[in-house]
Amino acid sequence: LYFATYLSHSGYSVYFDNVKYYWTLQHEFNGITDTNEGIWTFNFNDPLLNGSYQVILEATDNLGYTSTFSDFAIFFDNTILGFFPDTLPNGFLFNGSNLMYIQNSTGLLFNKTLQSLHIFTNSTNGEYTDLGTYYNLLVGFNNLIIDSARISDGEHNITFELIDITNNHYTFTYPIKVDNNPPTIEDISINNLQLGEEVYFNENANLQIYLDDLSEIFSVKIHVLKVLGDPAIYETVGNEKNWSSFTLRRDSSDPSEIYYLNPNNLTYSFNDSWRNGTDDVYQNVLYWNGWNPGIPFIDLNIYDVKEAISPNGESIPFFFDFVTQEITFDERYREYLTDDIILKGVKSDLGWNTSFIFDGNSWVLSNFNVEEYLNSGQHPAWWANLFGFDNDDSANYRHYDHPQKFMRNNFEFYIEIEDIHENVITTQLYQGIFDDLRPEGTFGQIMGSSSNGVNYWTLGKTGDAGNVMFGTSIEEYQTLFFTPGYIKNSTSGSYYVKYGFLFLHNIEKIMLYNASDYYLGEMVFDPLTLPHPTYTFELNAKDFTEGLTYIKAEIIDKAQNNYIILQDLFIIKEGPNTLHNALNFGDIIYYDKNLNYTENPIQFQGYLDNWVSHENKSEITVKISYLDYSEEIWVPMGTTTTTDGNFVIDWHVDNNTYYKLLSHQRGYIPINYTFSQQPNSYFYGSYGFFDDTGIIYPFLVDLSGMVYVYSYNESSHQWFINLTIDLGFSLIGKEISNFDLNKDSYTDLVIFDKFSTASNISLFIFDILTLSYQYNQTILASNIDLPDTLPDATFKDFIFDFENSEFLTMYVCLSDSINSINYIARLDFDSFLTVTQQNDGTQLPALRVISAIVIAGDTLYIGAVNPTSNNRVNSSIFSIDKDLAIDSTVMIENATKGALLELASFKAVISDVIVAGVSMAKYNQDDHVLYYIYDSSLDTWYRTSFSADSEIESYSNEIYDFKIRSLVKFKEGQFESVLISSSKGLWKTFIDTDIITLTSTPTYFGVDTFRKFDLFTYQNMEGTAAVIPLTYFPILEIISVYKFDKYL
- Convert the pLDDT of each residue in 947-961 to its tens digit: 665 434 433 333 446
- Which of the given ranges, 5-9, 810-814, 1016-1020, has the highest pLDDT on average? 810-814
Dist. CA 364–CA 554, nearest whole Å:
26
Whether 675 shows a pLDDT value over 90: the answer reads no
- Predicted confidence (pLDDT) per residue in 439-495, tens digit: 888 998 888 777 777 887 766 776 677 878 776 666 677 888 899 888 888 788 888
pLDDT of residue 243: 81
Dist. CA 211–CA 186, nearest whole Å:
5
Say if strands 198-201 and 430-434 run parallel, antiparallel, or are unpaired: parallel
The mean pLDDT value for 760-781 works out to 94
pLDDT-based confidence at 37, cuts 50/70/90? low
pLDDT-based confidence at 279, cuts 50/70/90? confident
pLDDT of residue 664: 43
pLDDT of residue 678: 25
Whether 913 shows a pLDDT value over 50: the answer reads yes
Whether 21 shows a pLDDT value over 70: the answer reads no
The mean pLDDT value for 309-336 works out to 93
Q: 302: how many CB neighbours lie within 10 A of its CB?
A: 21
Q: How many alpha carbons lie under 13 Å from residue 1023 in its C-beta half-sphere?
A: 2
pLDDT of residue 693: 85
pLDDT of residue 320: 95
Whether 790 shows a pLDDT value over 80: the answer reads yes
pLDDT of residue 944: 83
The mean pLDDT value for 324-345 works out to 94
Q: What percent of the chain has pLDDT over 90?
A: 28
pLDDT of residue 300: 94
Instruction: Say if residues 837 and 827 touch (Cβ distance below 8 Å).
Output: yes
Whether 876 shows a pLDDT value over 80: the answer reads yes
- Predicted confidence (pLDDT) per residue in 190-229, tens digit: 888 888 778 999 999 999 998 877 777 889 999 999 999 8
pLDDT of residue 270: 95
pLDDT of residue 579: 56
Element (H, E) at 659: helix 655-664
If one compares 898 and 464, the residue with the highest pLDDT of the two is 898
Whether 56 shows a pLDDT value over 50: the answer reads yes
pLDDT-based confidence at 49, cuts 50/70/90? low
pLDDT of residue 966: 74
pLDDT-based confidence at 671, cuts 50/70/90? very low
pLDDT of residue 748: 95
Which of 294-298, 336-340, 870-874, 899-903 has the weakest average pLDDT? Answer: 870-874
Where are the strands (E) in 890-974, listed by range? 890-897, 899-907, 912-919, 928-935, 940-946, 964-972
Q: 969: how many CB neighbours lie within 10 A of its CB?
A: 19
Which of 164-168, 659-663, 955-959 has the weakest average pLDDT? Answer: 955-959
Dist. CA 268–CA 305, nearest whole Å:
14
Say if strands 31-36 and 842-844 run parallel, antiparallel, or are unpaired: unpaired
pLDDT-based confidence at 186, cuts 50/70/90? confident
What's the whole-number average pLDDT of the chain?
77
Which of 75-84, 446-455, 812-821, 1024-1033 has the weakest average pLDDT? Answer: 1024-1033
Phi and psi (nearest 5°) for 148? Answer: -75, -15
C-alpha angle 649-639-537 in degrees, rounded to nearest 5: 135
pLDDT of residue 356: 95
The mean pLDDT value for 45-68 works out to 68
Rg over alpha carbons for the chain, rounded to the nearest Å, is: 41
pLDDT of residue 1044: 24
Whether 322 shows a pLDDT value over 60: the answer reads yes
Q: What percent of the chain has pLDDT over 70?
A: 74
Give the three-class secondary structure for 198.
strand
Which of 180-184, 420-424, 708-712, 1019-1023 has the weakest average pLDDT? Answer: 1019-1023
If one compares 951 and 318, the residue with the highest pLDDT of the two is 318
Which of 425-429, 832-836, 1030-1034 has the weakest average pLDDT? Answer: 1030-1034
- Predicted confidence (pLDDT) per residue in 393-416, tens digit: 554 444 444 445 678 888 999 999
Dist. CA 864–CA 867, nearest whole Å:
10
Q: Which residues pair with 233 in a beta bridge?
A: 244
Q: 837: how many CB neighbours lie within 10 A of its CB?
A: 16
Residue of 548, 477, 482 whose CA lies nearest to 512: 482
If one compares 1021 and 534, the residue with the highest pLDDT of the two is 534
Say if strands 285-286 and 495-497 run parallel, antiparallel, or are unpaired: unpaired
Instruction: Say if residues 558 and 506 touch (Cβ distance below 8 Å).
Output: yes
pLDDT of residue 687: 76
Dist. CA 822–CA 33, nearest whole Å:
101
Whether 31 shows a pLDDT value over 80: the answer reads no
Give the CA-trace dihedral at 957, 962, 966, 967, to 10 degrees.
140
The mean pLDDT value for 48-72 works out to 69
Which of 35-44, 613-622, 999-1008 has the weakest average pLDDT? Answer: 999-1008
pLDDT-based confidence at 1045, cuts 50/70/90? very low
Whether 1016 shows a pLDDT value over 50: the answer reads no
Whether 1027 shows a pLDDT value over 50: the answer reads no
The mean pLDDT value for 377-392 works out to 85
pLDDT of residue 548: 87
pLDDT of residue 550: 92
Residue of 849, 795, 797 whose CA lies nearest to 820: 849
If one compares 161 and 1044, the residue with the highest pLDDT of the two is 161
Instruction: Say if residues 418 and 424 touch (Cβ distance below 8 Å).
Output: yes
The mean pLDDT value for 555-580 works out to 82
Give the three-class secondary structure for 1012.
helix
Dist. CA 781–CA 796, nearest whole Å:
10
pLDDT-based confidence at 41, cuts 50/70/90? low
Which of 27-36, 179-188, 682-691 has the weakest average pLDDT? Answer: 27-36
Distances (CA, A) of 161 to 138, 164, 166, 777, 1004: 16, 10, 15, 47, 81
Q: Which residues pair with 280 in a beta bridge?
A: 275
The secondary structure of residue 38, as a DSSP letter, is: T
Element (H, E) at 372: helix 370-375
Dist. CA 699–CA 1030, nearest whole Å:
9
If one compares 502 and 803, the residue with the highest pLDDT of the two is 803
Whether 316 shows a pLDDT value over 90: the answer reads yes
pLDDT of residue 404: 59
pTM, entire model: 0.50
Whether 773 shows a pLDDT value over 90: the answer reads yes
- Predicted confidence (pLDDT) per residue in 615-650, tens digit: 766 667 777 777 665 555 677 888 888 888 788 888
Dist. CA 83–CA 724, nearest whole Å:
54
Whether 116 shows a pLDDT value over 80: the answer reads yes
Which of 425-429, 798-802, 834-838, 938-942 has the weakest average pLDDT? Answer: 938-942
Residue of 856, 811, 838, 862 whose CA lies nearest to 969: 856
Label residues 842-863 b or e (16+ Cβ within 10 Å = b).
bbbeeebbbbbbbbbeebbbbb
Instruction: Say if residues 812 and 860 touch (Cβ distance below 8 Å).
Output: no
The mean pLDDT value for 120-138 works out to 90
Dist. CA 579–CA 162, nearest whole Å:
104
- Predicted confidence (pLDDT) per residue in 582-609, tens digit: 555 445 566 676 778 788 887 777 777 6
Whether 30 shows a pLDDT value over 70: the answer reads no
Which DSSP string corresponds to 268-307? EETT-EEEETTEEEESSEE--SSSSS-EEGGGG-EEE--E
pLDDT of residue 59: 67
Whether 97 shows a pLDDT value over 60: the answer reads no
